[in-house]
Amino acid sequence: MLKNKYLLVFALILVLSACTKDNDDDIVTPIAQNGAEAYDAKVVTEWYDLIKTLTIQTPGYTPPVAARAFGYTSIALYEAVVPGIPNKVSLSGKLTDLNFSTQLEQNKIYHWPTVANAVLGRMTEYFYADTSEDRLKAIAGLEEKFDTAFLVENGSDVHEVSVNLGKDVANAILAWSETDGGKDAQFNNFPNDYVPPVGDQFWVPTAPKFQSALQPYWGSNRPFLMSNITGGARPVPPPPFSVDESSVCYQRALEVYNVVNSLTPDQRDIAEFWSDDPVTTATPPGHSISILNQLIKENDSRLDLAAEAFAKLGIGISDAFISCWKIKFETNYPRPITFINKHIDADWLPVLSTPPFPEYTSGHSVQSGALAEIMTDFFGEDYQFTDRTHENRTDINGTPRKFDNFYEMAEEAALSRLYGGIHFQEAIQLGLDQGYQIGKNVNDLNLDK
């Protein structure tokens, strides 16, 4: 159950009044204060590059866990920087249980890249506290690198209030995060108390590892937007389970079987490019973060846009995994390998290793659909781009892939699971629709003043 009883009221009394009095008591003169739009997003992109690496190298960072960390980190970034974005408002009152007031200290000047560095440093050290000693040093080193440069640039007074703002916002967002049901999930990805339903029509652990269910309770976590687990974001049930050869269920299994058995080299490349397995990569949510980070760099986006874009994407992909996992463990639909081995070909194997959770819907589809909607809102419907996420990999064909728009990208990412032999069409296509709706819900957040 959602933990709505934990309604939190945060009041950060930090104070904004960018004014000082002149000798004439009747005249008020504004202090010069640059907004976040005056700065590039270098501090943000470098932190997210490190976060991607940490996600690969830190134990327990499965896709739902990674999506949650990205979500809270990105919201904290936005909340810390939004006082420096004159035409935007806080997410307070717009996200579930978040009631948050950020004000700035009277008569103080803030340096927004310093604020961003402080908030991202605190969020990263919290979420990746269990990483290796070398990685912990990398976290501290990146924060110190920017701190040193910004202190010289701005002086101690500006630096101190800016760091304090970033840390205070981070701590408040972290306190909120600890009541959502997902705290410390990286240490318990496979709960021992979960007992899956029994029957031919239900999911069972699959070859080669036969792992128990990953995060079976994730769908009960608190979403950022309640609309992302209801209404249009809640797909219809999957086709009824049936071994009748004329049934939709059987025909979908036969489709997976035939596609995999006649796979083209390009289809295999697509399956592997989008696989985004934990430990090897930053997971599918990390792939989404990678795309946005790349586009921010290529467009020389300013700090204000980067903060808002990461916040909305973080909300979208985190809620995508809650919404997806909710329907997965309500339906407990079996995977293609299970059905095909029992009813079509006992020796058949998929191209990719089947992950340890039920079939319906496809997490790749849901989070890719959300990504497509949110990125389209920021960059446009006809935005052409090249995904370079895996260009340095040698274990697969990581050649950058070109797309005419974000929907084309989402459709390829979704279909990659058919080519990999691990999802039926309904999980793929209805999962995309589920993700598109989640993305639309996020885009409907009105952050304009």
Q: What is the pLDDT of residues 376-426, one digit of tens each?
A: 999 999 999 999 999 999 999 999 999 999 999 999 999 999 999 999 999
Overall average pLDDT of the 35-48 stretch? 98
pLDDT-derived band of residue 102, with 50, 70 and 90 as boundaries?
A: confident
pLDDT of residue 33: 82
Q: Does domain 10-177 have CATH number 3.50.50.60?
A: no
pLDDT of residue 125: 98
pLDDT of residue 25: 37
pLDDT of residue 373: 99
Q: Residue length, the chain?
A: 449
Q: Tell whether omega for the bond before 113 is within 30 degrees of 0, i.e. cis.
A: no
User: 11 pLDDT exceeds 70?
Assistant: no
pLDDT-derived band of residue 101, with 50, 70 and 90 as boundaries?
A: confident
pLDDT of residue 32: 54
pTM for the predicted model, two decimal places = 0.93
User: 13 pLDDT exceeds 90?
Assistant: no
User: 22 pLDDT exceeds 60?
Assistant: no
**Least confident stretch, 98-102, 237-241, 292-296:** 98-102
Q: Is-contact 327 361, C-beta < 8 A?
A: yes
229-244 tens-digit pLDDT: 999 999 999 999 999 9
pLDDT of residue 332: 99
**What CATH number does domain 197-443 carry, 3.40.50.1100, 3.40.462.10, 1.10.606.20, 1.10.3720.10?**
1.10.606.20
Residues of the chain with CATH 1.10.606.20: 10-177, 197-443
Task: Determine the Cα–Cα distance for residues 411 and 368; give it in Å rounded to an integer.
Answer: 8
Task: Determine the Cα–Cα distance for residues 108 and 341; give it in Å rounded to an integer.
Answer: 68
DSSP-assigned letters across all residues of 191-242: -TT-----STTS----TTT----SSTTGGGSPPSSGGGGSGGGSPPPPPPP-
Cα separation of the two ends of the chain:
34
Distances (CA, A) of 320 to 20, 64, 139, 370, 412: 46, 9, 28, 7, 18
Mean pLDDT, the chain, integer: 94
